[in-house]
């Protein structure tokens, strides 16, 4: 099983926190998980993207380019 999620929003909406929560839940459930965050230097209001990859096997590529299962 491998699931790729891309979360996006504006700075201050909790996107990074939501990605962190998903990764912690997956790891507590004995899954492999990665979190990659991309954001601008703006404190609030700038765009933010989080790629979360969850898998039952080790993860070799932690990004969701254009093939995310959920956006």
Tens digit of each residue's pLDDT (9 = 90 or more) over 16-33:
999 999 999 999 999 999
Counted domains in the chain = 1
Q: Which residue has the higher pLDDT, 62 or 51?
A: 51
Whether 65 is in a domain gets the answer: no
Q: What is the helix (H) or strand (E) element at residue 8, kind and residue range?
A: strand 2-10
Whether 62 is in a domain gets the answer: no
Model pLDDT, residue 48:
92
The alpha carbons of the chain give a radius of gyration, in whole angstroms, of 12
Whether 67 is in a domain gets the answer: no
Model pLDDT, residue 67:
79
Whether 69 is in a domain gets the answer: no
pTM of the full predicted structure? 0.84
Whether 44 is in a domain gets the answer: yes
Whether 47 is in a domain gets the answer: yes
Domain limits for position 14: 2-55
- Region of 8 (left: φ > 0; alpha: ψ -120 to 50; beta: rest) is beta
């Amino acid at each position: 099983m491998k699931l790729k999620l891309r979360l996006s929003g504006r700075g201050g909406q909790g996107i990074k926190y939501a990605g962190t929560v998903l990764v912690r839940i997956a790891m507590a459930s004995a899954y492999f998980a990665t979190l990659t965050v991309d954001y601008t230097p703006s404190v609030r209001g700038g765009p933010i993207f989080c790629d979360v990859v969850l898998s039952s096997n080790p993860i070799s590529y932690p990004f969701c380019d254009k093939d995310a299962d959920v956006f």
